Every structure is written in structure tokens, then in C-alpha cells.
Amino acid sequence: MKTSPLEYGKSYHIYNRGINGCNLFQENENYEYFLHLYAKYISVIAETFAWVLMKNHFHFLVRIKSVKELNLQGFENLEGLKGTNRNFANQQFSNLFNAYSKAINKRYKRTGSLFEHPFRRVQVTAIGQLKYLIYYIHHNPIHHGFCKHSLEYPWSSYLTILSPKTTKLNRKEVLGWYNDKNNFIKYHNTEKINCFKELEIGFLGDG
């Protein structure tokens, strides 16, 4: 599958699943370790607005930082990497997936790829799309039968957005898209029946 490189300053729906639909997460420690690696590799190159980890797939809504924000001193070849599939942002996501795959393969005595390649990405531009996509991401556990409300699922950003605790998630901007927290909750509590069909992302996962 041919994919476009991530562009600096642009927002993306990043998603993928286990190869052949295999599980990516088998126990709570796996979810926690993936989030630890995500903070290590992705927080430096992107702002995160929403995420969910499911047993065999994941979704993130991110904005890749601009070259100025990244301030990548020491990466003399940054200009040469722009416009290729090996730019710095793409490489950081690859580093995340490779590090997690190695850890899982070692822990569970497996070999070979863990994720489908390449990871999927769809650029998002309009506020309406961003709001709808955040609902879609948080609704994943409900859609796949893991819970009846987003409050009940621990591996998504829904609880983080509602929490007053300090977070690297860009909570302030997310709530601004909905005007305030009450409207964010109301939007999420209003069922959007055709949400999964309308996005047409080509991948929903098997739950």
C-alpha cells in the first residue's frame, strides 16, 4: 500500500491493527508499555488530541508539529528527509512500533511482524471532522462491545479529557472545539448511528 509521508503542521488520524488481525495487547501491562513508548517517541513530534487502544487495533488523532516547533538541531538531513517516506515524523512512529514489537515478541516468545505495514494515516482539516473523529475514536469500545459507555473503558483519552489532572494530551484545544466540557459530554452522549460507515476509513478492526 502506497502512503503519503506525514507533513509538518498537519493533523492526522493515525490508525493500524495487528498483522492478520492478531491481538496487539494481551494484558494491562501491554497497554501501559505502549503508552509509555508513545510518550517517548511521539510526544516530541506531535500534539495528541484523542486516542484509543483496542485489543487488536488503535486510533490516534494528532497534529504533527511544525519544523519551527520541532527545533530539530542536530538533524542536519531534515530538509532532505522532507517529502519522503523516511521523514522524521514517520521515523518516530516506526521507532514506536518497532520498539513495541520487539518487546512483545520477547515477552511472548513470538517472531515476525506485529503490526500491518505501513501504518495508516488520513489528513484531517475541518473542525467538524475533528469533532466527529474524536467521537468515533472514543466510541470504538462501545461499537466493539467492550462497554456501554466511554466512561467504562480505561484505554482511551475520554477519561483524560474529563479529568482535571495534568496531561500531555491537548485537552484545552479539544474542549474548545466543543465550546466546553458539557457540550463535549453531550456530543458524545448523542448516538451517531452511521458514524463508522460515514468515515469510510477502510479499516474498523475486529474488536
Domain limits of the chain?
11-199
Q: Determine the Cα–Cα distance for residues 157 and 205; give it in Å rounded to an integer.
A: 19
pLDDT, position 73: 47
Single-letter amino acid code for the residue at 115: F
For the residues 107-132, what does the mean pLDDT come to? 93
Is it the case that residue 170 has pLDDT exceeding 60?
A: yes
Question: pLDDT tens digit string along 55-67?
Answer: 999 999 999 999 8
pLDDT, position 194: 64
pLDDT, position 4: 80
Question: pLDDT tens digit string along 71-92?
Answer: 754 444 444 444 443 588 999 9
pLDDT, position 2: 61
Fold (topology level) of 11-199: Alpha-Beta Plaits (3.30.70)
SS (H, E, C) the chain: CCCCCCCCCCEEEEEEEEHHHCCCCCCHHHHHHHHHHHHHHCCCCEEEEEEEECCCEEEEEEEECCHHHHCCCCCCCHHHHCCCCCCHHHHHHHHHHHHHHHHHHHHCCCCCCCECCCCEEEEECCHHHHHHHHHHHHHHHHHCCCCCCHHHCCCECHHHHHCCCCCCCCHHHHHHHCCCHHHHHHHHHCCCCCHHHHHCCCCCCCC
Which residues face 13 on adjacent strands? 61, 122
Q: Determine the Cα–Cα distance for residues 5 and 55; give it in Å rounded to an integer.
A: 27
* Confidence grade of residue 100 (pLDDT, cut at 50, 70, 90): very high
* Confidence grade of residue 7 (pLDDT, cut at 50, 70, 90): very high
- Phi first, then psi: what are they for 45, rounded to 5°? -120, -5
pLDDT, position 203: 38
Is it the case that residue 196 has pLDDT exceeding 80?
A: no
Q: Determine the Cα–Cα distance for residues 15 and 202; give it in Å rounded to an integer.
A: 11
Is it the case that residue 11 has pLDDT exceeding 50?
A: yes
What is this structure's pTM?
0.86
pLDDT, position 201: 42
For the residues 134-141, what does the mean pLDDT come to? 95
Select the more confidently predicted residue: 117 or 13: 13
pLDDT, position 205: 36
Residue percentage of the chain with pLDDT more than 90 = 75
Average per-residue pLDDT in the chain?
Answer: 87
pLDDT, position 115: 96
